[in-house]
Amino acid sequence: MQSIVAIALFALVAFPAGAAAQVPENPTFADDIAPIFYESCVNCHRPGEIAPMSLISYQDARPWARSIRNKVETRAMPPWHLDQDIGVQDFLNDPSLSDDQIATIVKWVDTGAPQGNPANTPKPPEFAPADAWQIGEPDLVVQFPTHTVPAAGPDLFGDLFTDFGLSQDRYITAIQTKPVGDKARQVVHHALSYAVEQDEDGERMGGGQFLVEYASGKQAEIYPEGTGLMLPADSEARLSYHLHSIGEDIDAVVELGINFLPEGEEPEHIRYSKQLAGSHGRTIGVLDIPSGEVSRSDGYARFNKAAKITMFQPHMHMLGVYQCIEFIYPTQPVRAETVNCARFDYNWHMNYNYSEDSMPLIPAGTILHTTTWFDNSSGNRGNVDPNNWVGAGQRTVDEMGFAWIGWYDLTDEEYEAEVAARQEARERTDDDN
């Protein structure tokens, strides 16, 4: 088992080879900066979107040159909070800039941020509408009942129900929760969607099977090829919501968009998504965050079957600043490997989707260990009261600390085959080098 884990780990922590440096001698907006902005920035930095300024034209961008330099050099923008010095670095949804792109922007600003020849500026990309689905046009859209959020009042928690309208079991391949309109996005703190089945008497059978989570900045969940999650026929959709007031009455509407495998098809593997290794009172431990201090909390969860990890997403509230996930392997002696670490920004609940070849492979009996840091000091700009002790709870001013993990189970034979394939890929890489 120890040698098998070592092989799996090689693929897990392998870093992509970097290309040779290509930083222009005299970068200009038209030739060098606009292509970077158009690829990585203007989806948000354009009129009508969430960013505070547009970066589409030179006239838009030039007044912000020094601020842009600071944001990209510190990797605050584009938002991608993964620690790039630790663990896996190959993700499907990585919008971050390369070192060369950052160096190009820094050099452009330091040399006066010249425009260059305007005729060389590429055509701006064509944008989908701001409220477009990230999963494409869904096969099914479920709209939950409208909920009015008053201009002022306590946080609102509860459930909304509606029918999926399915007469047969279907398998989900992609799913997205979408508050409808900018105002709804502002009042929805988070929303969890479930599929609830009924018994013979028409009574709901518990809280239902978890489907997907939404919080600010969260992207859609698109499952790896060959995986899916069953949505049972005749089940009901349940939205577990947390809403908060923003100073005006808002009629909040939330939709759930789903794509399926074709009717009658089943996936090779069931893809799961759950909150694991929590330290916020619902799994292991209770949060205890003293005033004025940076503190740490740990959580653990055991995988009883071999698995392939498809996604992770740190979850904290306003005091959360950093989280690491580590796998403790059932070897003799015990081995542990830090898979990834990520900074945390409450405004960007980012899910990190591993590429196929970088998905961590873990044997049965592996333990997931999360280490989460909270900053309750006055140095944390998100801290509303550094003099106050903070514990676990549902409110925004309370805290949580866990990881959303996406995975699918493997048989022992599948696990061994995956490990062998990675060993073969490693040998090919060694031969090429």
Q: In terms of domains, do 156 and 111 share one?
A: no
Domain boundary among 234, 249, 267: 267
On whether residue 4 sits in a domain, the answer given is no
pLDDT of residue 60: 97
pLDDT tens digits, one per residue of 392-431: 888 888 899 999 999 999 999 999 999 999 999 888 877 6
Look up the CATH number of the domain holding residue 334.
Answer: 2.60.120.230
On whether residue 433 sits in a domain, the answer given is no
Q: Report the b/e string of 358-374 with b at 16+ CB within 10 A.
A: bbbbbbbebbbbbbbbb
Q: How far is CA 123 from the centre of its chain?
A: 30
Q: In terms of domains, do 301 and 240 share one?
A: no
Q: Which helix (H) or strand (E) holds 414?
A: helix 412-432
Within 91-228, where are the H helices?
A: 99-110, 182-187
Q: Mention every residue, 6+ apart, whose C-beta is less than 8 A from residue 11.
A: 357, 358, 361, 422, 425, 426
DSSP state of 52: S
Q: In terms of domains, do 262 and 357 share one?
A: no
Q: In terms of domains, do 73 and 170 share one?
A: no
On whether residue 125 sits in a domain, the answer given is no
Do 13 and 88 contact (CB within 8 A), yes or no? yes
Positive or negative: CA dihedral 244, 249, 251, 257: negative
Q: Mention every residue, 6+ apart, whose C-beta is less than 8 A from residue 430.
A: none
Residue 148, strand partner residues: 251
Q: In terms of domains, do 115 and 161 share one?
A: no
Structure tokens, 339: 């898979």
Q: In terms of domains, do 204 and 242 share one?
A: yes
Q: Report the b/e string of 44-53 with b at 16+ CB within 10 A.
A: bbbeeeeeee
pLDDT of residue 4: 46
Q: In terms of domains, do 285 and 383 share one?
A: yes
Amino acid at 152: A
Domain boundary among 267, 289, 316: 267
Q: In terms of domains, do 98 and 207 share one?
A: no
On whether residue 2 sits in a domain, the answer given is no
pLDDT of residue 86: 95
* Residues of the chain under the 50 pLDDT cut: 1-7, 10-20, 281, 283-284
Q: In terms of domains, do 278 and 263 share one?
A: no
How far apart, in whole angstroms, are the C-alpha atoms of residue 408 and residue 420? 18
Q: In terms of domains, do 91 and 159 share one?
A: no
Residue 190, strand partner residues: 215, 242
Taking alpha carbons only, the member of 180, 202, 322 closest to residue 251 is: 180
pLDDT of residue 395: 83
How far apart, in whole angstroms, are the C-alpha atoms of residue 412 and residue 287? 37
On whether residue 134 sits in a domain, the answer given is no
Domain that holds residue 31: 9-120
pLDDT of residue 254: 96
On whether residue 426 sits in a domain, the answer given is no
pLDDT of residue 425: 87
pLDDT of residue 83: 95
Do 252 and 149 contact (CB within 8 A), yes or no? yes
Q: Which helix (H) or strand (E) holds 12?
A: helix 2-13
How far apart, in whole angstroms, are the C-alpha atoms of residue 259 and residue 197? 20
pLDDT of residue 49: 81
On whether residue 145 sits in a domain, the answer given is yes
pLDDT tens digits, one per residue of 78-135: 999 999 999 999 999 999 999 999 999 999 999 999 999 999 999 999 988 878 899 9
State the burial class of residue 379 (Cβ atoms within 10 Å of its Cβ: 0-12, 13-18, 19+).
exposed
Structure tokens, 327: 């796998």
To the nearest whole number, what is the mean pLDDT of the chain? 91
Q: How far is CA 332 from the centre of its chain?
A: 34
- Output the pTM of the full model: 0.87
Domain boundary among 244, 267, 290: 267
Structure tokens, 45: 């930095």
On whether residue 425 sits in a domain, the answer given is no
Q: How many domains does the chain have?
A: 3
Q: In terms of domains, do 211 and 233 share one?
A: yes
Q: In terms of domains, do 153 and 92 share one?
A: no
